A and B are shown apart, each in its own frame.
Chain A
Amino acid sequence: MSYELIALFMFASLMALLLTGQRVFGVIGAVAVLAALPLWGTGGVEIAFAQSIKLMKWYPLLTLPMFIFMGYMLSESRIADDLYKMFHVWFGPVPGGLAIGTIGLMVVISAMNGLSVAGMAIGSTIALPELLRRGYDKRMITGVIQGGSSLGILIPPSVVLVLYGMIARQPVSQLWLAGVFPGLLMAGLFILYIAVRCRIQPHLGPPLSAQEREAITWEERIRLLKAGILPFMIFFLMNGLFLMGVTSLVESSAVGALAALGAAVIKGRLTREVLENTVRKTLGISCMFMWIILAALCFGAVFDGLGAVKSIEGFFLDSLGLGPWEVLILMQLSFLIMGTFLDDTAMLVIVAPLYIPLVKALGFDLVWYGVLYTMTCQIAYLTPPFGYNLFLMRAMAPPDFRLKDIYLSVIPFVAIMLLTLMVVMIYPQLALWLPSQFQGKLQG
């Protein structure tokens, strides 16, 4: 059997086994070792365990549990409640204002944690009931929460970019900075969409009534602005100290986690229950990630040993005879399609090692490609059948939100993401300008 055929067979059996619903890490690991054993005999046995050492030595991975902890601390202790009230009061009078405020809230949350799950939790517990009470359209509500929370992986800190940095051997700090403007652009386009849509169809997002607006005094508005101080402090302690070169990347994640803990203490929200839930859920999610990475690294090592990279390169460049841009677009499309089926961490660790050398060979910038990849992940989060945010939404939304509503609600937001993706593809400077300003000034 030729190596290409083995690689294809591995991929097919991976897909088939994933469909049985067995734990993702177990499936990936099993397919990898089942291929390694006949290929390399006793040497193949060692491959699986060797990955645990590889995983350990990759130090930016230390940030992963820290950011997960931070996200859960913020959502479990409900520090974001006041913040939402602030956005509510300030944006309430505009049609669709609460939805716009929700996007604003999501941007702030995204700047304090690296996954979409915290944004989803905060969005569904704080924003969703309020939006529903104000008579917002169901599809508008779930779309805003799912789309907005996906910004968590694009706006720094970002766990997805940490993982990408590991595979592509690019500095995480550069990747994070590259995510800032594309993230803000995407948020801006979300807001624009909501504002325009709600102006045309006001029943989707009714503004606050005149009486309610009267009831809010200016003193209260100013007072609520203070709610922004605490998140700003957390943001500064983590990102500020890092950008000033005081802390290294990994250290700043620990500072951020401690800052979130401190904020909960200051607010008097740190009960035993909050601490227990935060610590336990952090363990659960961290373990899920780590075990998947462990298995996927093994899969990647076997794939690598098969020379799959060379054959994919040969396939794209020689067999199809395409130019660099056509290959790039084809790769993004294949990522999008795979993303609808595969878990994004698994996708990254399995497929990215095949693509990244190719991207490099084509002469593209790997930091820029990291941003493109992350946006593809965001889209993958929202697209059925396998989308994290869809699952979370289904679990968190009240029962009268039908699955159909949840699925259909993401369409405009996915369209905006695709638009942003294209804009960043055409204008790489959007991503690359900020990192170029900080080149060589940061500690890993």
Chain B
Amino acid sequence: MTLLAAYIGAVDHFNRRVGRFAMYLIFVLMGILLWSTISKYAGAPALWTLELAQFVMVGYYILGGPYSMQMGGHVRMDLLYADWSPHRKAAVDTLTVLFLIFYLGVLLYGGLSSTIYSLEFGERAHSVWRPYMWPIKMVTTFGILLMLLQAFAELFRDILFLRGVTITHPQEPGL
């Protein structure tokens, strides 16, 4: 029991940190796109802006995913769900979250094999800038791993809740 609680605490804390870092990447994204406009009119259009922006966007939503899950940001179809008691919600979630975990597991497997491929063959993007692909694949795979850890944290949270121990999500100021 205490082990589960410690796991939840650690994962929540770490993912919140990562998510709050990712959250501010939106300003980086704005900066890159603004630079793209400026450089076009300064006579030397930057070739790397669009691709870099795409990499940042992937980092943004992949690394922000677990934090978003903590905040309850991933929409559910709550036609029936909304009217259930907290107990019933937790009970159903402990079963159905296994589907989520399975999907994330397959994603992670694909991510690992794809990253290893990129490292082995030095895969580059087909563009003028030709960036290496392994860094972004590594970030994506790492983000999926964090998402998987968060999904397990949600599962354990529900199990503990059903046994009478409530562990809430980290609370944000002003919420």
Q: Using CB atoms and an 8 Å cutoff, list the residues of chain A in contact with chain B.
A: 17-27, 29-34, 37, 45-50, 52-53, 55-57, 59, 61-62, 65-66, 69, 246-248, 250-251, 253-255, 257-258, 273, 276-277, 279-280, 282-288, 290-292, 295, 341, 343, 385-386, 391
Contacts and interface: CB of A to CB of B under 8 A. Distances in A.
B25 to A, nearest CB: 9
Contacts of B140: 49, 52
* A interface, over-half SS: helix
Nearest to B109: A45
Interface string B96-113: 110110111011011101
B109 A62 contact: no
B47 to A, nearest CB: 14
Contacts of A62: 29, 33, 53-54, 57
A284 B55 CA distance: 19
Contacts of A45: 106, 109-110, 113
A49 B76 contact: no
Contact of B89 (A21, A246, A254, A279): A21
Nearest to A25: B74
Contact of B107 (A29, A250, A255, A290): A29
Given A21-B89, A45-B109, A49-B110, A295 B74 contact: no
Given A45-B109, A57-B54, A251-B34, 17 more contacts: A19-B79, A21-B82, A21-B89, A25-B74, A33-B106, A37-B106, A55-B58, A62-B33, A65-B57, A65-B60, A66-B30, A248-B37, A250-B33, A255-B33, A279-B26, A285-B73, A343-B77
28 contacts: A21-B92, A22-B92, A22-B93, A31-B99, A32-B103, A37-B106, A45-B109, A46-B113, A49-B111, A50-B114, A56-B55, A65-B26, A65-B60, A66-B26, A251-B34, A251-B36, A253-B33, A255-B37, A257-B26, A279-B23, A280-B172, A283-B26, A284-B68, A286-B61, A287-B68, A291-B65, A386-B77, A386-B79
A271 B120 CA distance: 48
A263 to B, nearest CB: 15
A27 B151 CA distance: 13
A94 B153 CA distance: 56
A53 to B, nearest CB: 8
Contacts of A37: 106
A48 B107 contact: yes
Contact of A250 (B50, B76, B109, B110): B50
A247 B35 CA distance: 11
A280 B173 CA distance: 11
A194 to B, nearest CB: 31
Contact of B110 (A48, A59, A290): A48
Contacts of B14: none
Contacts of B92: 20-22
Interface in B122-146: 136, 140, 144
B83 to A, nearest CB: 10
B80 interface: yes
Contacts of A53: 114
Given A23-B75, A254-B29, A287 B103 contact: no
Contacts of A23: 69, 74-76, 100
Given A33-B103, A49-B110, A283 B60 contact: yes
Nearest to B99: A30
A43 B22 CA distance: 32
Closest 8 CB pairs of A and B: A21-B81, A49-B110, A26-B100, A254-B33, A284-B73, A29-B103, A30-B99, A287-B68
Q: Indicate the member of A17, A55, A56 with the most B CB atoms within 10 Å.
A: A56
A46 B64 contact: no
Contacts of A55: 58
Given A17-B99, A24-B74, A287-B64, A52 B58 contact: yes
B71 interface: yes
B129 to A, nearest CB: 13
B30 A21 contact: no
Nearest to A69: B26
B77 A24 contact: yes
A280 B36 CA distance: 25
A280 B81 CA distance: 25
A22 B99 contact: yes
Contact of A283 (B33, B67, B100, B136): B67
B64 A283 contact: yes
B73 A287 contact: yes
Contacts of B113: 45-46
A343 B77 CA distance: 8
Nearest to B58: A56
A214 B12 CA distance: 58
Contacts of A254: 29-30, 33-34, 37
